[in-house]
Amino acid sequence: MLPYKTMILIEEKVDRPIYLQITHGLIQHIQSGVIKSGTKIPGTRVLSKLLEVHRKTVVRAVEELEAQGWVDIIPYRGVFVVNDLPQRRFQKLKEKVSPPKPLTKTGYELPKRKFLTDAIFSKHRLIFSDGSPDVRLAPVNELATAYARYLRDPDPRAVLKYGDARGPQRLREILAKEFNRDRGLHLTANNILITRGSQMAIFLAAQILLRKGDTILVGETSYFSANRCFRSLGAELLVIPVDENGLCVEEIPRLIKKGKIIKALYLTSHHHHPTTVTLSPERRLHLLDLASQYGFAIIEDDYSYDFHYTNSPILPLASADRNGHVIYIGSFSKSTAPAFRVGYIMAPEEVIQEAARHRCFIDRQGDTVLELAIADLLENGTIQRYRKKAIKQYRKRLDLFCERMSTGLLADRTDFKRPDGGMAAWVKFDPRVSMVDLSKRADQKGLYLSNGLSYNPEGQILNATRMGFASMNEEELLEGFDLLEELLK
């Protein structure tokens, strides 16, 4: 029911009878569209109680409304706003009250910030993504069962009440055990904060580490979403070259000698975003030494550690970090599906406590039920089995991708190196191909292919893009390639 009590103002000191004030108040709201045609007006007994007036006054007001043609009184059913509102009266008052409609603009000046862009998503069936998984393979039934089990608990208080901003202890314990065993980390639950995906983890790390004017090192090519996040906080980005072995960390002393104080460094240690190269073990150790020597933090975004097709992953920098420099970040977006927003920050306790405080500014806690369901799936091995199954599929898709990209016109117009893992390849296009035009024409044909602009370092056009091979099945991949070849002709 509408809040009639506050919608209709009754003033005692005015020269208009109360019943007319009620009538006019209701007419105003009918005209402005707040009380819509067909709406049942509360009965006179209810309305008189709400408005704190005698019932007879309300009866008069309603009779007046009916006399003016705004409502129909239907015996034994009630009072209804008429469907054909009196046009003449409506026109007359329309000048004063504009009918409400969904708003698009503010009535005040909205501060416009730089570096904000729309999130990328495609409505197409055929998508050469930035590196997304095939969500059709995700263990959704198992997740649904685990999720429902928590909701059906006869005493759901433990999971439904406010909880720890760091995430459920149980999930953090399971992750500590798994990451200590499989990735050589040295964690307890207190070294972990569960986020809603890696992006939130990047944001929290940046919030903790960076103030306006601070400098952060990033690759000359780097993950655009992280760069935008750092810039939005007013940080200055200092770029390091990237080659076949990842970030050229040996360049860091030269950059730092220019008198800069470096607060942090961001990297994607496996399958560097966007070029997919992996940081070599030597450079990992060198980078840790540099972090100790110059006192900066390392944000290690190991977003695709789980997906390798030829060799095993290299242990994270975090595994060799003895001095508390590394903030290790990842998520389950690739190893379940991006819609399940569960990620993590693993770092010294001091960082985790600070991150928990910052998290509370935007999000009191995560989705406890989902996080516990993920804990169940980790504990009973579902996620591990799913990863194995997905890796097998993705390896086949990568084979097909490489085969098709190495034949015909695609081979002639593109250049790429087979990535050893991840879900996308870095593909350079012949300078004769306009990526912007190609992407636009692909879009018209129902195929998503990024124009690659967001991967370009400042002031350079690489004419390259990431082409995901994992999210489409083999048939779809072939269909996508046929379309692409057609467009390249």
Ligand X SMILES: Cc1ncc(COP(=O)(O)O)c(C=O)c1O
- Which residues contribute to the site for ligand X (CB under 6 A)? 130-131, 197-199, 223, 268, 273, 301, 303, 331, 333, 338, 343
Q: In terms of Cα–Cα distance, which of 370, 30, 81, 70 is closest to 197?
A: 370
Nearer to ligand X, 166 or 341 (CB): 341
Q: In terms of Cα–Cα distance, which of 134, 77, 100 is closest to 31?
A: 100
Contact residues for 87 (Cβ-Cβ < 8 A; gap 6+)? none
Give the shortest CB-86-to-ligand X separation in angstroms. Answer: 55
Q: In terms of Cα–Cα distance, which of 73, 55, 69, 50 is closest to 19?
A: 55
Give the shortest CB-223-to-ligand X separation in angstroms. Answer: 4
Taking every pair of C-alpha atoms in the chain, what is the biggest distance, in angstroms?
89
The tokens of 72 are what? Answer: 């129909």
Direct distance between the N- and C-terminal alpha carbons of the chain, in angstroms, rounded to an integer:
62
Give the shortest CB-130-to-ligand X separation in angstroms. Answer: 6
Give the shortest CB-461-to-ligand X separation in angstroms. Answer: 21
Nearer to ligand X, 126 or 423 (CB): 423
Give the shortest CB-266-to-ligand X separation in angstroms. Answer: 10
Nearer to ligand X, 44 or 199 (CB): 199
Cα–Cα distance measured from residue 151 to residue 153, given in angstroms and rounded to the nearest whole number? 6
Nearer to ligand X, 22 or 326 (CB): 326
CA dihedral for 465, 470, 473, 475, sign (positive or negative): positive
Say how many C-beta atoms besides its own lie within 10 A of residue 75's C-beta.
5
The tokens of 471 are what? Answer: 């999210």
Give the shortest CB-271-to-ligand X separation in angstroms. Answer: 8
Nearer to ligand X, 300 or 321 (CB): 300
Give the shortest CB-384-to-ligand X separation in angstroms. Answer: 19
Nearer to ligand X, 297 or 488 (CB): 297
Strand 447-449 versus strand 126-128 pairing type: parallel
What DSSP letter does each residue of 176-243 carry, written as one string?
A: HHHHHHHH-----GGGEEEESSHHHHHHHHHHHH--TT-EEEEESS--HHHHHHHHHTTPEEEEE-EE
Nearer to ligand X, 121 or 156 (CB): 121
Strand 262-267 versus strand 297-301 pairing type: parallel
